[in-house]
Amino acid sequence: MNLIIDVGNSYVKLAVFKLGALKYKETITLDSVMKSINLLKGKYPSIKKAIISSVGKLNNEDVKRISEDFYVMILDSNVKLPFKNFYTTPNTLGVDRIALVCASVEQFSNNNVLIIDAGTCITYDFITMANEYMGGAISPGLRMRYKSLNNLTANLPLLESEIPKSIIGDSTKASIHSGVVHGILKEIDGVIEEYNRKYSDLTVILTGGDANFLSKQLKSSIFANSNFLLEGLNYILQFNSNE
């Protein structure tokens, strides 16, 4: 069994996989990591290997303690990957984006795939049917847009995400919801349309914390999978363990 530790900007996701199947998943705060892992050790004594993907900060002491119980792989740009990387700055490619591309290699081989991760940022990653990762784009995510309107203006309030009732906002709050949500939806649909012009056989994956909120409102045909990054991390661990 494999333990997946995904340290994000805001939260940590823990997952347990057995033979490629997700058996357990939870989202916790950074200060709860060791407590939760110790509980998982008792619940799943067959866990032998772990992978740590960290865009946030997991301190060295916690990494050392985890390494005492499992074989641990730290995901970075030096790990052997199952695709050709044409990113011109591979050392700056985020580990979360690496994991998403690996998931697409495992599940959609021989396809042109666009992966859209709607989280703190919205990332777009494209890999060709020839297994060549070309890059993509990064833009502000849903919460970042709401917070920016509040932080960078004098009078606009900070709102929680809400599906707008109309494209025409008839109040300041309604206008913010319309601008933020419709702006993201038009962006995503527009990016997908642009890729479809060039790659007619395109497969589109939507994942990330805001995937469920956005998926039903998009016009484009997509596969929504909230566990795509975790599945990619598990595949990287398996890919390197089978060497």
Task: Tell me the binding residues.
Answer: 6-13, 87, 94-97, 117, 120, 172
**69 given a catalytic annotation:** no
Please report, in range form, the residues annotated as the binding site for K(+): 117
Rounded to a whole number of angstroms, the distance between the first and last alpha carbons of the chain is 17
Q: State the Cα–Cα distance between residues 208 and 184, nearest whole angstrom.
A: 14
- Exactly one of 62, 96, 125, 210 is catalytic; which is it? 96
Q: Which amino acid is at 209?
A: G
Give the distance, in angstroms, between the CA of residue 81 and the centroid of all CA atoms in the same chain.
17
The closest of 63, 62, 138, 52 to 95, measured between CA atoms, is: 52
Q: In what order do the strands lie in the sheet with 223-224?
A: 84-85, 132-140, 121-127, 112-118, 202-207, 223-224
User: What is d(CA 49, CA 140) in angstroms, rounded to the nearest whole number?
Assistant: 34
Q: Known catalytic residues?
A: 96
